[in-house]
Amino acid sequence: MIRFVTMTFPATSAKNTMDTFLNLPKAPDFISHMGPWVSGMAEDRVKTVSIFEFDNSKEKEASDYIKGRYDSFLGVPEININIEEWVSVDEAIKMLET
């Protein structure tokens, strides 16, 4: 299972966001974390994208970790956080068949 997480925030909040990021706990061993990647550093708003991959059997634990991780940023002014669940085509077909 995959979670795509995007954050956007004003460039004026970049330092606050970076300080929060530097204090985040490492992802548990059962989660593969890719990113974050950053775009818009020269613009008014900055966007980051991260990908978290984990086995379906660990969905609750992974969701709790990801939610807690991004709750850490809620004090950043004007931040927007979007967490999306993605599944493979095979998984989607299985869901539709049941």
Task: Look up residue 91 and give its two tokens.
Answer: 């998984």
Tens of pLDDT, residue by residue over 2-53, are 999 999 999 999 999 999 999 998 999 999 999 999 998 777 999 999 999 9
Q: Are 3 and 51 in contact (CB under 8 A)?
A: yes
The total of structural domains in the chain comes to: 1
pTM: 0.87
CATH number at residue 15: 3.30.70.360
3-state SS assignment for residue 87: coil
The span from the first CA to the last CA of the chain, in angstroms, equals: 18
DSSP state of 10: E
- CA 60 to chain centroid, in Å, comes to 15
Domain with 32 in it? 2-97
Q: What is the mean pLDDT of the chain?
A: 93
